[in-house]
Structure 1
Amino acid sequence: MQWATLAAAAALFAQNVAAQQMLRFACSQLVVERTDPLVNPGMKYTPHLHQIVGGNSFNVTMDPANDPATLSTCTSCSFVQDKSNYWTAVMFFKAKNGTYHRVPQVGNGGPQGALQNKGGLDVYYIPSGKVTAFKKGFRMLAGSATNTDDSKVNKGNICHRCWTSSNENTFVGMQPCSGTDTVAIPADTTCKMIRQTIVFPACWDGKNLDSPDHQSHVAYGQGSGATGGGACPSTHPVKLPQVMYELMWNVTTFADKSQWPTDGSRPFVYSMNLGGSAAHGDYVFGWEGDSLQKAMDNGCTLNQACPKAGLTTQPAATYNACNKKQQAPEDVDGWLKAMPMGEMAIKA
């Protein structure tokens, strides 16, 4: 009886999520490199490695006066009108012998259907009532790349899920960042994939397009999780579309526990050589014109073309082909002697 109740609840959740009005689309990898124009503008070989998706005007400085929507000639995201840039840290597997290997990524399935990615991540824009789209020059950061304390992270906004199915189209668990999801990166040989979720604040002060810490101009509303954001505080009264990143790290090839570290260190870490508490995401707005506002106002949904908002989609082969050469060149694939931090990456 209990299993039947849980199954019914899961099915109801899947129906509700599938019916919820939101954009949900794939973004393939544009480049993997050590740059970070938000936190370390102008710096090459930044302290840790990132994977970047979106418009190909991404560069080391990303001057806020420059509009990615007009400078980009292609986007690695499925919506043609979205030249924004989205990036996160990279997950590595640490072997018993001390070498590191970048964990591959796959597209994400779930109740809304599969998305095709060549690396990269899935992006959500979830409205809650009437929302105000981001303005040209807007940027923000979710999470902290230096945090080592799981208790300082709201599990409803940044979390990881052990995905016990090798098929990403088989939905596992309930809504993002709920149930048995953890702030820490799971370390369990039953995990075929690890899903990472990063939920951004959906409340804005209505004035500043950025702030020195890239966070103070935005705030989380009441509640947490992928709900579109709760009621906003008086300090940040403008409701934004809730941005959410979803990443599927394929850990299937690292399931042999005899290869895991025996010194007590974690088998899976992010490129800061830290665990899930340091998970973070960066966002630079770059939608063309008022296309995002029209998409929110006209109920555009999932990864479907939306003529009312002028949204068009491109096939996976097209957005997969939107790539960029590393601006901080180094070989970050295969087995590495050490995490690419400080010195250039060295092959094992």
Structure 2
Amino acid sequence: MQWATLAAAALLAQNVAAQGNMLRFACSQLVVERTDPLVNPGMKFTPHLHQIVGGNSFNVTMDPAMDMAAASTCTSCTFKEDTSNYWTAVMFFHHKNGSYHRVRQVGNGGPQGKLVNKGGLDVYYIPSGKVTAFKKGFRMLAGSATNTADSKVSKGNICHRCWTSTNEDNFVGSAPCSGSDTVAIPMDPKCKMIRQTIIFPTCWDGKNLDSPDHASHVAYGQGSGATGGGACPSTHPTKLPQVMYELMWNVTEFSDKSMWPTDGSNPFVYSMNLGGAAAHGDYVFGWKDNSLQLAMDNNCNLNKDCPKAGLHAQTDAQYSACNKKQQAVEDVEGWLKELPMGDKAIKA
């Protein structure tokens, strides 16, 4: 391992040590479909495609009064007690012939160890001091699916990193959303994987479980990055655990530049047909009882059993077996004539 890599790993380890223990675990794919019960409740074939992980009680409507833990028979996330749902837009490769192909997702490694997921993402809950866990019915959104300007996005909260190796354990760079990370999706044929990071607000108004824009009831504190969040403003005084999504998009099969659009446009786009500025994440809380609060209070760490909080870590075979049939049924695999937007997806 090179000295630069060792230094980066050490720096990240120091950051983790400074913020105490944190949950870091894998979630495999539950379903890929055009539904969005947060922004478009009740709608099938929403404006763009999402990849969803978590409890299998996920549905088109997602009534906030629903007890997700009771309604779910399994979860595609590591901890049996976590039936929350986490979802993001899907990354596509745009071929010069006009067709699109979904970029596959892989697990992540790094200084804290390898995480195994089957086409899903990795989730972090990072505390900073005493935090108040989310309440039943809580939901929020980070980022905007319509944003087209990189300058309107904080690189400290939503970012992308070029990974020049297919080995996710070959750690690249330093802490998430720092250094050479960019809001834009990297378009360098040297990139074998692209890591996407989405960091959610850590400050809550203490009253509303949601808001019309799914964002006003929460706020970012002072500072940025994966630090657990800084001091909260008086309007949002309640400190929450910092939720962070980490996705590894494997772009190896699309690194041949002769396949790229000839107009010089970025061949990698999200399912809104927009770039990294439109990256966003949706979160619907669904931990059983007070297990998340107990996990934060008892310094539960990484993806391991935590008896003090009653957390049970499933094997990757167990959580990866939790899947759900599409509610908005369409074929989103292979080469598509156009992005799944509007009408059903059409094969190329």
- TM (normalized to structure 2)? 0.97
Partner of 1:158: 158
**Residues 8 and 74 (structure 1), Cα distance of their counterparts in 2 relative to 1, 3 Å cut:** closer
Question: Aligned partners of 2:37 and 2:13: how far apart in 1?
Answer: 39
Partner of 1:314: 314
Question: Aligned partners of 1:261 and 1:129: how far apart in 2?
Answer: 48
Question: Aligned partners of 1:120 and 1:25: how far apart in 2?
Answer: 11
Would you say the 8 A contact 1:17–1:111 is kept in 2? Answer: no
2:11 to 2, 13, 20: 13
1:150-169 CA-partner distances (Å, limit 9, x unpaired): 00000000000001111011
1:72-127 CA-partner distances (Å, limit 9, x unpaired): 00000010000000000000000000000000010000110000000110000000
Would you say the 8 A contact 1:18–1:111 is kept in 2? Answer: no
Would you say the 8 A contact 2:9–2:110 is kept in 1? Answer: no
Partner of 2:297: 297
Backbone CA RMSD of aligned residues: 1.1
**Residues 227 and 18 (structure 1), Cα distance of their counterparts in 2 relative to 1, 3 Å cut:** closer
Question: Aligned partners of 2:214 and 2:143: how far apart in 1?
Answer: 10
Partner of 1:268: 268
Question: Aligned partners of 1:127 and 1:14: how far apart in 2?
Answer: 16
- TM (normalized to structure 1)? 0.97
- Aligned pairs for 1:224-239 (under 5 A) are 224-239=224-239
- Aligned pairs for 1:153-302 (under 5 A) are 153-302=153-302
Q: Would you say how many aligned residue pairs link Structure 1 and Structure 2? A: 345
1:130-187 CA-partner distances (Å, limit 9, x unpaired): 0000000000000000000000000000000001111011111000000100000000
Question: Gaps (5+ residues) in structure 2?
Answer: none
SS at match of 1:248: strand
Partner of 2:347: 347
- Aligned pairs for 1:40-79 (under 5 A) are 40-79=40-79
Question: Aligned partners of 2:49 and 2:5: how far apart in 1?
Answer: 40
SS at match of 1:151: helix
Would you say the 8 A contact 2:9–2:171 is kept in 1? Answer: no
Question: Aligned partners of 1:199 and 1:48: how far apart in 2?
Answer: 21
Would you say the 8 A contact 1:43–1:60 is kept in 2? Answer: yes
Q: How far has the Cα of 1:265 moved from its partner?
A: 2.5
Would you say the 8 A contact 1:18–1:112 is kept in 2? Answer: no
Q: How far has the Cα of 1:18 moved from its partner?
A: 5.5
Question: Aligned partners of 1:9 and 1:165: how far apart in 2?
Answer: 18
Counterpart of 1:284 in structure 2: which amino acid? V
Question: Aligned partners of 1:9 and 1:259: how far apart in 2?
Answer: 36
Counterpart of 1:99 in structure 2: which amino acid? S
Would you say the 8 A contact 2:92–2:268 is kept in 1? Answer: yes
Percent identity over the alignment is 80
**Residues 192 and 241 (structure 1), Cα distance of their counterparts in 2 relative to 1, 3 Å cut:** same
Counterpart of 2:216 in structure 1: which amino acid? S
Counterpart of 2:57 in structure 1: which amino acid? S
Partner of 1:105: 105
SS at match of 1:162: strand
Question: Aligned partners of 1:7 and 1:253: how far apart in 2?
Answer: 25
Would you say the 8 A contact 2:5–2:172 is kept in 1? Answer: no
**Residues 21 and 258 (structure 1), Cα distance of their counterparts in 2 relative to 1, 3 Å cut:** same
